[in-house]
């Protein structure tokens, strides 16, 4: 018995690596600390009532944000570990096995558990407020989405200390990821974690698609929808159409691994190239799923902080939609070197380059939104301006990679690594950080500190170039990706050293960002007006943080930049409208008439219909976690228990009729009065 | 603030340039040091695209700098402020138009060279070498000379080499930057890659697609010598090296290890084709015949 027990323990826990013991220790310490704080301050009830059971999109958004920042930290630590190993040719810091696990989890976490929740955070925080809605279309589903994501992320993260991390790369190509070459549970963790969180993403895609199409305030035609909301719509369409391909790929690979099927092994007639195709049919749209919302944030930020209308709104929308369509036609550029004929490669090369055109158009539109504006270099604007050169370079190297014959040389080299980090960091991360600074007062009622923001930005931004520009050159020097050691005589040493220094600078930048958050919670300037940036869209017409029901009265929208026009009408109340150059006088006069109702000052209040909180999304997702865990270790009894739990919660929900309530008028009046908006 | 930004940019430029300059002459930039016609085509294409994309990138960055410094919201800024100006047909045509033209040019070259690279680079009689990526080594078989090597490959100069690629392990990718771009090796499939060396030399090659624990060590050298040198070398291998037996081959494919250079005076005939077949090639007949006919 003890022998069996030790045998079990050595396979279950990852043993023998001091780094992992360190992780074990810190996980235990942090868990105990959290349990202690919750118990000591008697916060369990509060945690359950206010957060774990909430269906309020604003709170769900905040939870996504916290999760995204934590995962950014985890992925960032992975990145620092890798760069430390690569600082010098013969480093003995990480073993090959460990390095492989780290780049696999780094890539997976950054794309699926950092970028995805970050954009979902922004969707949840901003979209309903921007379109004058009281909630998303399916609030209960929204909570399920979050908890599915959360437990999926937990499943992947736990693999580091229990069972072992996946190590076949974030793309997880068979046969390497198949049962023959990836023994142990690591790869199962990957497959199930992505599958479970994928269900959540699908739910979010559907939710926001419906929300944006169906829940806009009266008068908000599609061509008056703020650009961030447009970008959320575009991303939702991409999610709905792309995620099924990933689901299929992961499920089939799971069958290969657990049930001995041969979908992706040539033996018995399967084909690994099929997996590669399915993966990238999802994978390429995925990069647009995460970058389009960043474009949306930049569009809002540029207009607000240039105090100017967005330039070329119609072509912004058109280019976004063009990207949605085109992004399904380019997936083969991820494997030009897999033997497709010249006709196929040419087609996908051309389609890939063509995406550069609408993307380039967006950059020019941002530039000309600033042109003849009045630019305030606040933190969100700093990240936006920092993004533009990044994206110009990243886009250019993207076009270079799309040139199929040239890609035969760049493929799988550090040139590629530099390129996608330039667009994923310079686009997605910069965009999400800009969005975080921008909407922070709306979420929490206080501003983030600008001084710390500057430290964070400059360290991160300069570190970024120091880290990744050398990698372009390393690519030209023939350095391949995913190697943990490299020969000393290739001339790669100095550039790798510089690159690592840059990674540390970025790490410091991230620390300053955290310092900013902590500092501002205590010392940050409070936002009393609800409109600290002099914003243009409807979320800024609300107090900060917005009340539970968002809008006491649903606003009536008469133009694009609805809130700005209302404010202009008030500012210009006494002056003649026609003296302002370029003003669309029709919209101004109209908005003047409508201004009183839309400013939540007129009209009778009515009781507000709201969804009830529910603990079931949490429990449902927990059961999914058990199900996934059971499959990872092939403990089928546990998987069945988990599955039964899932079914039970679903059935119970279907019998539930009492799922909503009304907020009485007196309570709304009281709340509004407390905000000084009687 | 502005001044601060400027000094930071200068520091940045230095940081970027110093390693570039100190890392020695351009010889280190392997893909810019083409040693044969295939790599030359790719290298020219790379230069062309760099120039063309620079035509867009540099103006964008300059424009950004100018606009941001000119339209700052400072109390005494005299620059025009035009908050409602948001449409301009002409400007939009310009920036839809310029990228379209540039992509048109790049696209044309791309298609031309994509087709070009599927054919042998020159008219000499090609040499065929069969390449198998293993866990974690490279096996090269010369069906003409009936010899085989591990982790290095010798080729004659000025003669197109047809590499026929497969894998008896996870996928990998066969890449010799100075001779031309890479191609995947996949179990059960045979892929073709044309390369040629114009200058004698030792060229660095590495597996480019991650294939597991020993992947970082999967480098090999391509040694290009004159035609006579090549034949002498083949003769020497033939007469001095041990044969590769079926058992030896089994050992090579099943042992997951990292080995040094090896050479063999012979190998069981049809081994390469058999390997593809048992790895699943039996389900893909057309591929097999196409690559080996
Ligand atoms: C914050 C600074 C970051 C640094 C210093 C960094 C560094 C690295 C390094 C060293 C690798 C491994 C290269 C190799 O061995 O082949 C890597 C791979 C990767 N990174 Fe990052 N990274 C960062 C941020 C990000 C972000 C924000 C994302 C995505 C949103 C991301 C996505 C990826 C992906 C997808 C891979 C490929 C993983 C694989 O090969 O399976 N990284 N990164
Ligand atoms: Cu792509
Ligand atoms: Cu294939």
pLDDT digits (tens, 9 = 90+) for B237-274: 999 999 999 999 999 988 888 999 999 999 999 999 99
User: What DSSP assignment string belongs to A539-571?
Assistant: GGGS-SSPPTTS-SS-----SSSHHHHHHHHHH
Residue with tokens 């970025």: A506
Ligand 1 environment, Cβ below 6 A: A 76, 79, 82-83, 103-104, 106-107, 110-111, 115, 169-170, 417, 421, 424-425, 428-429, 467, 481-482, 503, 506
Q: Which residues of B5-36 are buried (b: 16+ CB within 10 A; e: fewer)?
A: eeeeeeeeeebbeebbeebeeeebbbbbbbbb
For A349-376, the pLDDT digits (tens) are: 999 999 999 998 999 999 999 999 999 9
* Interchain CB distance below 8 Å, B216 and A486: yes
- Which pLDDT band holds residue B11 (cuts at 50, 70, 90)? low
Q: With contact defined as beta carbons under 8 Å apart, do A185 and A158 qualify?
A: no
Q: What are the tokens at A286?
A: 């995925």
Q: How far apart are CA A198 and CA A243, in angstroms?
A: 7
Q: Give me ligand 2 centre to Cα A284, in Å.
A: 4
Does residue B143 register a pLDDT over 60? yes
Radius of gyration of chain A (CA): 26
Average pLDDT over residues B208-213: 95
Does residue A516 register a pLDDT over 80? yes
Helix (H/G/I), strand (E/B), else coil: A373: coil
Res A29: pLDDT: 84
* Interchain CB distance below 8 Å, B57 and A392: yes
Q: What's phi and psi for B223, nearest 5 deg?
A: -105, 115
Res A599: pLDDT: 46
Residues of B in contact with A462 (CB under 8 A): 8, 11-12
CA-based nearest residue to A471, from A459, A460, A489, A483: A483
Res A14: pLDDT: 77
Does residue B289 register a pLDDT over 70? no
Pick A354's closest partner by Cβ from B41, B56, B103.
Answer: B103
Contact with chain A for residue B134, Cβ under 8 A? no
The dihedral region occupied by A427, where left means phi > 0, alpha psi between -120 and 50, and beta the remainder, is alpha
- Which pLDDT band holds residue B293 (cuts at 50, 70, 90)? very low
Give every CB contact of residue B169 below 8 A, 6+ residues apart in sequence.
Answer: A181, B133, B134, B135, B136, B187, B211, B212, B253
Mean pLDDT taken over chain B:
88
Q: What are the tokens at A570?
A: 């008030």
Identify the nearest ligand to the CA of A420 by its number.
1
Q: What's phi and psi for A424, nearest 5 deg?
A: -75, -40
Q: With contact defined as beta carbons under 8 Å apart, do B224 and B155 qualify?
A: yes
Average pLDDT over residues A646-666: 93
DSSP category for residue A425? I
Does residue B121 register a pLDDT over 70? yes
Res B163: pLDDT: 97
* Interchain CB distance below 8 Å, A356 and B177: no
User: What DSSP assignment string belongs to A9-43?
Assistant: HHHHB--S-HHHHHHHHHHHHHHHHHHHHHHHTT-
Contact with chain A for residue B136, Cβ under 8 A? no
For A616-640, the pLDDT digits (tens) are: 999 999 999 999 999 999 999 999 9
Res A2: pLDDT: 66
Q: B57, B76, B88, B109: which to substitute to probe chain A, counting the most A Cβ within 10 Å? A: B57
Does residue A16 register a pLDDT over 90? no
User: What DSSP assignment string belongs to B245-291?
Assistant: -HHHHHHHHH-------EEES---TTHHHHHHHHTTGGG-HHHHHHH
Nearest atom in ligand 1 to the alpha carbon of residue A468 is 5
- Higher pLDDT pick, A9 / A160: A160
Res B12: pLDDT: 52
Average pLDDT over residues B66-91: 89
- Which pLDDT band holds residue B290 (cuts at 50, 70, 90)? very low
Res A42: pLDDT: 86
* Interchain CB distance below 8 Å, A478 and B115: no
Q: With contact defined as beta carbons under 8 Å apart, do B249 and B267 qualify?
A: yes
Does residue A201 register a pLDDT over 70? yes
* Interchain CB distance below 8 Å, A375 and B88: no
- Higher pLDDT pick, A238 / A1: A238
ipTM above 0.95, yes or no: no
Q: How far apart are CA A508 and CA A372, in angstroms?
A: 35
Does the N-terminal peptide bond of residue A545 adopt cis geometry, omega within 30 degrees of 0? yes
Mean pLDDT taken over chain A:
91
């Amino acid at each position: 018995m003890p022998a069996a027990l030790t045998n079990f323990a050595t396979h279950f826990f990852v043993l023998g690596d001091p780094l992992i013991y360190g992780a074990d220790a810190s996980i235990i310490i942090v868990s105990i600390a959290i349990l202690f704080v919750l118990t000591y301050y008697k916060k369990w009830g509060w945690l359950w009532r206010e957060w774990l059971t909430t269906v309020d999109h604003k709170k769900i958004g905040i939870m996504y944000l916290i999760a995204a920042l934590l995962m950014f930290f985890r992925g960032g630590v992975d990145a620092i570990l890798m760069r430390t190993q690569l600082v010098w040719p013969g480093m003995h810091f990480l073993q090959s096995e460990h390095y492989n696990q780290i780049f696999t989890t780094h890539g997976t976490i950054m794309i699926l558990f950092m970028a995805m929740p970050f954009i979902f955070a922004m969707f949840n925080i901003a979209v309903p407020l921007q379109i004058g809605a009281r909630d998303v279309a399916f609030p209960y589903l929204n909570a399920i989405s979050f908890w599915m994501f959360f437990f999926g992320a937990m499943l992947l993260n736990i693999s580091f200390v229990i069972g072992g991390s996946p190590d076949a790369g974030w793309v997880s190509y068979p046969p390497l990821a198949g049962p023959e070459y990836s023994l142990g549970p690591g790869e199962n963790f990957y497959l199930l974690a992505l599958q479970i969180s994928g269900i959540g993403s699908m739910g979010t895609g559907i939710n926001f698609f419906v929300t944006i199409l169906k829940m806009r305030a009266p008068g908000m035609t599609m061509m008056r929808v703020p650009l961030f909301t447009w970008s959320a719509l575009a991303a939702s369409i991409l999610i709905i159409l792309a995620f099924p391909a990933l689901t299929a790929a992961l499920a089939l690979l799971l069958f290969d691994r657990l049930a001995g099927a041969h979908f992706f092994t040539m033996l018995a007639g399967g084909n690994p190239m099929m997996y590669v195709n399915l993966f990238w049919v999802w994978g390429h749209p995925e990069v647009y799923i995460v970058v389009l919302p960043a474009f949306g944030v930049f569009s809002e930020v540029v207009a607000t902080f240039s105090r100017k209308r967005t330039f070329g709104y119609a072509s912004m929308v058109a280019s976004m939609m063009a990207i949605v369509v085109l992004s399904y036609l380019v997936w083969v550029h991820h494997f030009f070197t897999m033997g497709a004929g010249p006709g196929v490669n040419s087609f996908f090369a051309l389609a890939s380059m063509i995406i550069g055109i609408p993307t380039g158009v967006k950059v020019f539109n941002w530039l000309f939104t600033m042109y003849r504006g009045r630019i305030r270099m606040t933190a969100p604007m700093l990240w936006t301006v920092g993004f533009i050169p990044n994206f110009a370079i990243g886009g250019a190297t993207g076009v270079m990679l799309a040139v199929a014959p040239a890609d035969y040389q760049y493929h799988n080299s550090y040139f590629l690594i530099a390129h996608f980090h330039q667009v994923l960091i310079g686009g997605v991360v910069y965009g999400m950080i800009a969005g975080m600074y921008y909407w922070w007062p709306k979420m929490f009622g206080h501003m983030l500190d600008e001084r710390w923001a500057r430290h964070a930005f400059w360290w991160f931004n300069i570190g970024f170039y120091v880290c990744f520009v050398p990698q372009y050159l390393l690519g030209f020097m023939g350095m391949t990706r995913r190697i943990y050691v490299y020969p000393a005589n290739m001339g790669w040493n100095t550039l790798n050293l510089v690159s690592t220094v840059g990674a540390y600078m970025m790490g410091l930048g991230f620390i300053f960002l955290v310092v900013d958050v902590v500092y501002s919670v205590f010392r940050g300037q409070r936002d009393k007006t609800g409109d600290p940036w002099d914003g243009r869209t409807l979320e800024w017409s609300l107090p900060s943080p917005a009340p539970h029901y968002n809008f006491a009265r649903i606003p009536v929208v008469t133009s694009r930049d609805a809130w700005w026009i209302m404010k202009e009408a008030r500012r210009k109340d006494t002056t003649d409208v026609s003296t302002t150059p370029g003003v669309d006088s029709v919209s101004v006069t109209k908005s003047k008439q409508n201004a009183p109702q839309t400013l939540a000052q007129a009209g009778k209040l009515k009781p507000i219909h709201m969804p009830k909180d529910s603990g079931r999304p949490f429990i449902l997702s927990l059961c999914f976690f058990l199900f996934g865990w059971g499959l990872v270790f092939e403990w089928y009894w546990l998987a069945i228990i988990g599955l039964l739990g899932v079914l039970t919660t679903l059935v119970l929900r279907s019998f539930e009729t009492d799922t909503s309530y009304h907020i009485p008028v007196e309570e709304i009046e009281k709340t509004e009065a407390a905000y000084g908006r009687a | 603030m502005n001044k601060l930004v400027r000094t930071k940019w200068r520091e940045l430029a230095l940081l970027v340039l110093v390693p570039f300059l100190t890392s020695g002459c351009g010889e280190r930039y392997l893909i810019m040091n083409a040693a044969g016609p295939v790599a030359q085509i790719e290298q020219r294409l790379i230069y062309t695209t760099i120039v063309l994309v620079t035509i867009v990138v540099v103006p964008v960055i300059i424009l950004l700098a100018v606009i941001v410094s000119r339209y700052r919201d400072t109390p005494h800024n005299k620059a025009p402020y035009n908050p409602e100006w948001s449409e301009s047909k002409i400007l939009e045509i310009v920036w839809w138009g310029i990228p379209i033209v540039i992509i048109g040019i790049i696209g044309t070259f791309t298609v031309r060279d994509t087709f070009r690279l599927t054919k042998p680079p020159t008219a000499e009689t090609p040499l065929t070498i069969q390449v198998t990526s293993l866990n974690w080594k490279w096996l090269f078989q010369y069906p003409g000379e009936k010899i085989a090597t591990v982790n290095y490959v010798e080729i004659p100069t000025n003669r197109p080499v047809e590499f026929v690629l497969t894998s008896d392990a996870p996928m990998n990718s066969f890449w010799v930057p100075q001779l031309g771009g890479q191609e995947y090796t996949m179990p059960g499939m045979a892929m073709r890659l044309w390369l040629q060396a114009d200058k004698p030399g030792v060229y660095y090659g590495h597996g480019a697609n991650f294939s597991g624990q020993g992947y970082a060590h999967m480098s090999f050298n391509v040694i290009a010598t004159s035609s006579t040198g090549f034949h002498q070398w083949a003769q020497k291998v033939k007469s001095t090296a041990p044969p590769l037996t079926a058992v030896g081959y089994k050992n090579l494919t099943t042992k997951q290890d990292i080995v040094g250079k090896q050479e063999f005076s012979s190998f069981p005939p049809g081994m390469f084709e058999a390997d593809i077949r048992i790895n699943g090639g039996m389900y893909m007949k057309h591929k097999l015949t196409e690559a080996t006919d």
